[in-house]
Amino acid sequence: MSPEPAHLDGRIEAIRLWKRFRTDPHPGLLGQAARLRAGGTRWRWALRDITVQIEPGESVGIVGVNGSGKSTLLKMLTGTMVPTVGDLRVGGPVGALIELQAGLHPELSGRENALAYGTLLGLSRQQARDSLDEVLAFAGVDDAADRQVKFYSTGMRLRLGFSIAAHLSAPVMLVDEVLAVADAEFQAAATARLRALQAEGTTLVVVSHDLSVITGLCGRTVWLDDGVVADDGTTAEVLGAYRAARDPAG
């Protein structure tokens, strides 16, 4: 493979990232006075001082219990969220296999969605048209390509969303629990697709509660606990410590 320019090489550098959210809902006119008396807006720091550096082509798993900040971190890597504090550099366009149905429009057909979603994810219209057949075939919806997505089964929607996102040639691919609800057959196909991306040198970041997925794909794992990095090392080490912490008796 030809060497990529530095800003497209798939390297991820997150240096001392902090991210906060407001804990109280936006108050109405009458609530404002009470809020000011209480000392202004209350914030919760969802991520604190996260430093993670990922080399081009590396595959890194992220584990942690619900609410530990995994999805927030992924959203910042995707670029949909901005860190409150800290420096984040991501080398190139990011493909995100995150809640894949978000970009699908229920009224449009599978074909129309594949074109629109592909463009949303950063393809040119020509590129989206070129990869269309492959995307529909991989999703197994070629027969239903002209049916509106609202008439698709949950599995078909999931497969279509995965297939569109997985056929981007982005140097960084983020994967968040997308395989959890798929059937075994598509899980196998999807995992094979992720391995193919790995072989092409794509940087992979995988979030999953299914630790076997992480073990299968990632040599390195980061453990997030309550918004901070609890451990960062080889998958075997980190998952060992993670399991021990969650089940001290075992």
> Is residue 121 part of the contact set for other proteins (CB under 8 A)?
yes
> Is residue 31 part of the contact set for other proteins (CB under 8 A)?
no
Name the phi and psi angles at 99, rounded to 5. 35, 70
d(CA 207, CA 177): 6
> Is residue 105 part of the contact set for other proteins (CB under 8 A)?
yes
- 224: tokens are 């997030």
- Location of structure tokens 């006075």: 33
3-11, 108-116, 189-197, 205-213 -> range binding other proteins (CB under 8 A): 108-116
Least distance to other proteins, CB of residue 9, Å: 19
H/E element, 131? none
Least distance to other proteins, CB of residue 184, Å: 26
Q: Binding residue for other proteins (CB under 8 A) from 13, 49, 210, 231?
A: 49
The SS3 assignment for 216 reads: helix
d(CA 158, CA 139): 8
Query: How crowded is residue 50: how many other Cβ atoms within 10 Å of its Cβ?
Result: 23
> Is residue 175 part of the contact set for other proteins (CB under 8 A)?
no
Strands 59-63 and 203-207: parallel
Question: In sequence order, what are the beta bridge partners of 172?
Answer: 94, 203
The SS3 assignment for 38 reads: coil
Q: Binding residue for other proteins (CB under 8 A) from 65, 108, 156, 241?
A: 108
Least distance to other proteins, CB of residue 53, Å: 17
> Is residue 75 part of the contact set for other proteins (CB under 8 A)?
yes
- 70: tokens are 């995994």
74-82, 139-147, 210-218, 238-246 -> range binding other proteins (CB under 8 A): 74-82
- Location of structure tokens 């279509």: 160
91-99, 136-144, 194-202, 207-215 -> range binding other proteins (CB under 8 A): 91-99
Residues that bind other proteins (CB under 8 A): 16, 18, 21-22, 26, 45, 48-49, 75, 78-82, 84-86, 94, 96, 98-99, 102-103, 105, 107-108, 112, 115-116, 119-122, 124-125, 148, 228
